[in-house]
Structure 1
Amino acid sequence: MLKAGALYFSIIVAFIIAVICASLIMLASHYRGSYLKEVRMARLSRNMDSGIAYVLAESENREQNSLALDLFGDQTDSVLIEQKHWGIFNLATVKSFVLSDTLKQVFLMGQETTSDAVAMYLSDEDRPLSVSGDTRITGNVEVPKAGMRKSYVDSRPYSGDQLVYGKISDSKRTLGGLESKWIKEIESELDFDPVRLFTLNGGDEQVSFFDAAKKFNVSGLSQLTAQLSGQVILYSDTTVKVSAMAKLDNTIIYAQSIVVADGFKGNCQLFARDSITVGNGVTLSYPSVLGLVSKEKMVDQAKVTLGKNNRFEGIIFSYEPRRSALQTLVSLGEQTTVQGEVYATGLLKLDKKVKVAGKVSCNRFIMQTPATLYENFLIDVVLNRKARNRMYLSSAIFTGVSENKKILRWEN
Structure 2
Amino acid sequence: MSVMIPFKEFPQRLKGTALFYALLITTLIGILLTALISIWMYYRGAHQRDIAIWENIESVESAFLYAQSQERTIDQEYFPFTTDSILMTKRPWGFFELISCTPVAPSSSAITKTALIGRKSPAHTCLEMLDTRKALALSGTSQLVGRAIVPRGGITTTTVNGVPFQAGQAIIGSSSSGDGTLPSLDLDVLNNQQSSFDHEQYTIRELGDSFHLSFNQIPILIKGKVLELERQNWYGPIVLEADSLIRIGENARLNGLILRAPSIEIDTGFTGQLQAIASLEISLGTQVYLTYPSVLAILPKSGFSRRQSGRLRIGKECKIEGTVLGLKNSTNDDQQLLATLQQTALQGRVIWQGGLEFSGQITGSVYCDNFFYRGNSGQFFFNYLVNGRIDAPSRSQHWVEPMIWNTGNKAVAQWLD
Same fold (TM over 0.5): yes
2:183 aligns with: 176
Deviation at 1:345, TM superposition (A): 1.9
2:88 aligns with: 81
Answer yes or no: is 1:314 the counterpart of 2:322. Answer: yes
Point out the more displaced range, 19-28 or 288-297. 19-28
The secondary structure found in structure 1 opposite 2:373 is strand
Answer yes or no: is 1:238 the counterpart of 2:233. Answer: no
Answer yes or no: is 1:328 the counterpart of 2:340. Answer: no
1:158 aligns with: 165
Identity of aligned residues (%): 23
2:121 to 88, 93, 113: 113
1:346 aligns with: 354
The secondary structure found in structure 2 opposite 1:320 is coil
2:7 aligns with: none
The 5-angstrom pairing of residues 141-220 of structure 1 reads 141-172=148-179, 174-176=181-183, 178-189=185-196, 197-200=204-207, 203-220=209-226
Answer yes or no: is 1:254 the counterpart of 2:263. Answer: no
Distance verdict in 2 for CA 1:154–1:16, change over 3 Å: closer
Answer yes or no: is 1:104 the counterpart of 2:105. Answer: no
Aligned partner of 2:153: which letter? Answer: A
Alignment partners' CA distance in 2, 1:13 and 1:355: 80
Alignment partners' CA distance in 2, 1:13 and 1:154: 99
Alignment partners' CA distance in 2, 1:317 and 1:102: 39
Unaligned runs of 5+ in 2: 1-9
Alignment partners' CA distance in 2, 1:157 and 1:20: 87
1:41 to 47, 53, 69: 53
Aligned partner of 1:394: which letter? Answer: E
Q: 1:264-310, CA deviations, whole angstroms, 9 ceiling, x for partnerless residues?
A: 11111111111111111211111111111112332411111111121
Distance verdict in 2 for CA 1:29–1:212, change over 3 Å: same
Distance verdict in 2 for CA 1:225–1:20, change over 3 Å: closer
Contact 1:262 1:282 survives alignment (8 Å):
yes
Answer yes or no: is 1:30 the counterpart of 2:38. Answer: no
Contact 1:358 1:386 survives alignment (8 Å):
yes
Answer yes or no: is 1:283 the counterpart of 2:295. Answer: no
Unaligned runs of 5+ in 1: none
Contact 2:219 2:239 survives alignment (8 Å):
yes
Q: Which of the pair has more CA radius of gyration?
A: 2
Distance verdict in 2 for CA 1:69–1:373, change over 3 Å: same
Contact 1:225 1:242 survives alignment (8 Å):
no
Alignment partners' CA distance in 2, 1:278 and 1:409: 24
Q: 1:147-174, CA deviations, whole angstroms, 9 ceiling, x for partnerless residues?
A: 2223332355434444321121344365
Contact 2:150 2:180 survives alignment (8 Å):
no
Alignment partners' CA distance in 2, 1:94 and 1:381: 43
Q: 1:83-113, CA deviations, whole angstroms, 9 ceiling, x for partnerless residues?
A: 1222212221123578966321111223223
Alignment partners' CA distance in 1, 2:217 and 2:291: 24
**TM-score normalized with structure 2 length:** 0.84
1:358 to 356, 364, 370: 364
RMSD: 3.3
Contact 1:48 1:104 survives alignment (8 Å):
yes
